[in-house]
Amino acid sequence: MLGTIVNAIAIVAGAIIGSFLRKGIKERYKDIVMQGIGLVVALIGINMAMGYNNILVITFSMIIGGLVGETINIDACLESVGQKLNARFGSGETEFVQGFVTASLVYCIGAMAIMGSLESGLTGKHDILFAKAMLDGVSAIVFASTLGIGVAFSFLPVFIYQGTITILAGVAKPFLTGEVIAAMTATGGLLIVAIATGILGIKKFNIANLLPAIFVAGALTMLIDRLLL
């Protein structure tokens, strides 16, 4: 769990630094920074999604995962947690919940979160999560400089998500072939692109409710592999 703990600390530290910087930044500068962040997030998602060619798997994953997520209503749960944290620790700032939800999704979706947690659980090495901690810490500074201290509390879902994968790594290892990881990464990439559209003010998707699609993509790929044997 060391890698996940370091990752969580980096997010909190970066967000605290960013929240102090926020006070001296004019609104128009915040807007242009968020536009830049949105474009970079879109690029990250596109790069992740382009590495996989089985469109049918991704399509069915999005449909099935979306239905599962909508039934559970993960988005409402995240929003509720954000509202409660804002009521207890926030200063009434309107961007608190947006910062919490956006940062939580960005930090949890992606190959580094999954692969780093698996490496940590299976080998005891934390190289990937240490690298992710550096990236998340820097991006937390930028996010918090525009969205406020709510970004810091994204360490909670990151800790739970990555920690759970780390603990369950031994069970998952036999099933995580290169094709399975590629399918999960590509599906996660599409979700990151959707996050970018929200940051850029183009279209807000219920990303959290689509999160199960990542794991559905892995399950479908495993099923296809079994059928082809």
Quote the pLDDT of residue 32: 81
Got the DSSP string for 178-207? HHHHHHHHHHHHHHHHHHHHHHTTS----H
Alpha-carbon separation of residue 119 from 49, 126, 156, 179, 221 (angstroms)? 22, 7, 20, 17, 21
Q: From CA 73, how far away is CA 203, in angstroms rounded?
A: 19
Contact by Cβ (8 Å): 220, 60: yes
Quote the pLDDT of residue 229: 63
Query: Could you identify the residue written with the tokens 């999604």?
Result: 49
Quote the pLDDT of residue 63: 94
Got the DSSP string for 43-57? HHHHHHHTT---HHH
Q: Which residues contact 7 (CB under 8 A, 6 or more apart)?
A: 107, 116, 129, 132, 133, 136, 155, 158, 159, 162
> What CA dihedral angle connects 84, 90, 96 and 100, to 10 degrees?
-60
Q: Which range marks the domain in which residue 70 is found?
A: 2-228
Q: From CA 97, how far away is CA 179, in angstroms rounded?
A: 36
Quote the pLDDT of residue 142: 82
Quote the pLDDT of residue 93: 62
Residues in the chain with pLDDT values less than 50: none
Contact by Cβ (8 Å): 16, 155: no
DSSP 148: -
Kindly report each contact of residues 204-207 with a partner whose C-beta sits within 8 Å and lies 24 or more positions away, as own/partner.
206/69, 206/70, 206/75, 207/75, 207/105, 207/109
Q: What is the pLDDT of residues 110-135, one digit of tens each?
A: 667 877 787 788 778 887 788 788 88
Q: Which residues contact 204 (CB under 8 A, 6 or more apart)?
A: 197, 198
If we measure between CA atoms, which residue out of 217, 123, 220, 222 comes closest to residue 175? 222
Quote the pLDDT of residue 123: 74
- Domains held by the chain: number: 1
Query: Could you identify the residue written with the tokens 């994204």?
Result: 154
Quote the pLDDT of residue 145: 84
Quote the pLDDT of residue 61: 94
